[in-house]
Amino acid sequence: MITLKLSTQTKVTIARWLSKLIVGLRAIFGLSPITKVYRQGLKWSLDLREGIDLAIYLGVYEPETIKALKKLVHSGDIILDIGANIGAITLPLAQFVGESGQVISFEPTLWAYNKLQTNLSLNPHLVNRVKPEQIMLLEPGEKPPSLVYSSWNLQGNQDEITHPEHQGKLMTTDGVQGISLDEYFENNPVDKINLIKLDVDGYELTVIKGAKNTLLHYKPDIIIEMAPYIQEEKNQLLELLYELENHGYKLQELNTGKQISMTQEAIEKLCPPGGGINTLLIHNTKL
């Protein structure tokens, strides 16, 4: 199989065109851009003007990541979905962990958190498996920003302010609690953490710096998108790699298992311009 490595901007451009086409065709038949559908055994409430929603509708949201997670996650596991957004990964994870497992989902923006809760409520058999939290994970002592990127509006106003690379729209974090991952588990202890999925558009280093005790104690596998074009905004890619290596982690491609050197140069070679690569970090005691 040939996998095309497209930049995020190219993906968004394609998605904008598809959104206008699909929403336009639905309008001809008097159908709303907001719809409820079943995909892979899950029920979703989707706004086809939104990037993540449209990808779920078309069945193309992170298929390789979900395929990898299905292999990595086992019944009874405890998984963290950090940067859960509307639940696109949370809900499949809830299927994989079974009745004896749990997914703890962290989403800071009120807009996405409400959509996450809606999608979870449409799947009542999964409700007891998921613990949604409107929390932004930070370094100790940090305060959460008032706005965070969480919407990819495909039919927004051209004057709308969006991220110059990934085209995300800032959404309010009203009601959010800012806390470190270490503090969270001091207050909410668990027996184990098997895996962390981390997708927070540039806040990865902040999360990891607030998770030192968590990583030391549980040594979970970590799935993270290495995206130099985002992470270099805060000059954090090198420091992120240093922190993870210092915690005893080794890096590999998520889908192939190919080892990757923990250097910025090695990662940049694997990423398309303006894009990223999904990686898996495994603690060296498990190798």
Q: Which of 8-12, 65-69, 96-100 has the lowest mean pLDDT?
A: 8-12
Higher pLDDT, 26 or 225: 26
| pLDDT tens-digit readout, 70-112 | 999 999 999 999 999 999 999 999 999 999 999 999 999 999 9
Bridge partner list, 253: 279
How many distinct helices (H) and strands (E) make up the chain? 11, 14
Helix (H, G, I), strand (E, B) or coil at 225: strand
Task: State the Cα–Cα distance between residues 244 and 246, nearest whole angstrom.
Answer: 5
Long-range CB contact pairs, 66-70, < 8 A, 24+: 66/92, 67/255, 68/223, 68/254, 68/255, 68/278, 68/280, 69/93, 69/96, 69/195, 69/197, 69/223, 70/96
Most confident by average pLDDT, 150-159, 178-187, 222-231 = 178-187
State what percent of residues in the chain have pLDDT above 70. 93
Q: Where are the beta strands (DSSP E) in 76-231?
A: 78-82, 102-106, 130-133, 135-137, 147-151, 169-172, 177-179, 195-198, 221-226
Residue 157: its pLDDT value, please?
A: 65
Query: Pairing relation of β-strands 147-151 and 169-172?
Result: antiparallel
Residue 6: its pLDDT value, please?
A: 73
CATH class given for the domain over 62-283: alpha beta
Question: How far is residue 108 from each of residues 36, 137, 181, 232, measured CA to CA in Å?
Answer: 24, 8, 13, 22
Token look-up 């005893």 returns 248
Residue 160: its pLDDT value, please?
A: 64
Confidence of residue 15 (pLDDT cuts 50, 70, 90): very high
Q: Where are the domains of the chain?
A: 62-283
Helix (H, G, I), strand (E, B) or coil at 169: strand
Task: State the Cα–Cα distance between residues 232 and 80, nearest whole angstrom.
Answer: 25
Confidence of residue 2 (pLDDT cuts 50, 70, 90): very low
Question: How far is residue 147 from each of residues 49, 87, 142, 209, 281, measured CA to CA in Å?
Answer: 21, 19, 15, 21, 29
Higher pLDDT, 6 or 91: 91
Higher pLDDT, 116 or 229: 116
Residue 164: its pLDDT value, please?
A: 63
| pLDDT tens-digit readout, 110-162 | 999 999 999 999 999 999 999 999 999 999 999 999 999 999 999 876 556 57
**Given a cut of 60, is residue 4 above it in pLDDT?**
no
**Given a cut of 80, is residue 219 above it in pLDDT?**
yes
How far does CA 155 lie from the centroid of its chain?
22
Higher pLDDT, 196 or 168: 196
**Given a cut of 90, is residue 276 above it in pLDDT?**
no
| pLDDT tens-digit readout, 29-42 | 999 999 999 999 99
Task: State the Cα–Cα distance between residues 108 and 249, nearest whole angstrom.
Answer: 27
Let me know: does 41 contact 1? Beta carbons within 8 Å. no
Q: Which of 2-11, 96-105, 215-224, 253-262 has the lowest mean pLDDT?
A: 2-11
Residue 252: its pLDDT value, please?
A: 97
DSSP string, 114-136: HHHHHHHHT-GGGGGGEEEE-EE
Task: State the Cα–Cα distance between residues 221 and 198, nearest whole angstrom.
Answer: 11
Task: State the Cα–Cα distance between residues 282 and 287, nearest whole angstrom.
Answer: 7
